[in-house]
Amino acid sequence: MLVFPPMEEDEKYKVICRFFLPQDNMAERVKRDKVPYDVWARQGFITLTPGNLIDYSFILKAIEEDSKNYFIAELAFDRWGSQKITTDLQDLGFEVDGKKSLVQFGQGFASMSAPTKEVEKMVLGSELAHGGNPVLSWMVSNVAIKIDPAENKKPDKEKSTERIDGAVALIMAIGRAMLKQGPIKSAYDGLTPEQIKERMVF
């Protein structure tokens, strides 16, 4: 999930989604879940990976390619089961507190509440520019919210219907973007028109 904070007050947060699905069992999942993964894959909203399990080396290559096309200031991750992939990301130049930072993002109320409330507000107010991505829209619609006695909120994975991974990733990315204060330097500053055109992937 790539999130670009607004450069001007009246701009929306821009979101570029990356969703992956194993190719070999896609048809089985379509039948079991009654979700049109195959249609979304044909439309380019889902990237199919070889085999019947998610190929993390394939995803790492996608992250590496995104790093070439965009200035990725931070990459937030859930520490649960993340040791291997964070080690691999360091091989791509990401590091803790570096120019391209790996940032651990907790899944409890303390970390998730403020960005969950912000994303909820953005969704209700149509304040996210995500190109009408149907996979993200579907995942957001699946989210059930858990609220503690202090009115803190976070996604409830146990009570949510179907998958919500993309919605959780969005909340984490927005959470990190919210912490960035002051003027934002454009990734295109100092580039020639030809160099900017090379970076554009739309």
Asked if residues 18 and 3 have their Cβ atoms less than 8 Å apart, the reply is no
- Residues 126, 123: Cα–Cα separation, whole Å: 5
Q: If you count DSSP H runs as helices and E runs as strands, how many of each does the chain have, helices first?
A: 8, 9
Residue 96's pLDDT band, with cuts at 50, 70 and 90, is confident
pLDDT at 173 over 90: yes
pLDDT value of residue 17 = 95
Phi-psi region of 117 (alpha: psi -120 to 50; beta: other; left: phi over 0): alpha
Express each pLDDT in 26-53 by its tens digit: 999 999 999 999 999 999 999 999 999 8
Average pLDDT value for the chain: 87
pLDDT of residue 10: 80
User: Could you tell me if 160 and 142 are in contact, meaning their C-beta atoms sit under 8 angstroms apart?
Assistant: yes
Statement: residue 82 has pLDDT above 80: no
Domain 2-182 adopts which CATH fold?
Nucleotidyltransferase; domain 5 (3.30.420)
H or E, element range at 97 = none
Every domain of the chain and the residues it spans: 2-182
Read off the pLDDT band of 202 (50, 70, 90): very low
User: Residue written as tokens 């040791």?
Assistant: 83
Overall average pLDDT of the 57-77 stretch: 90
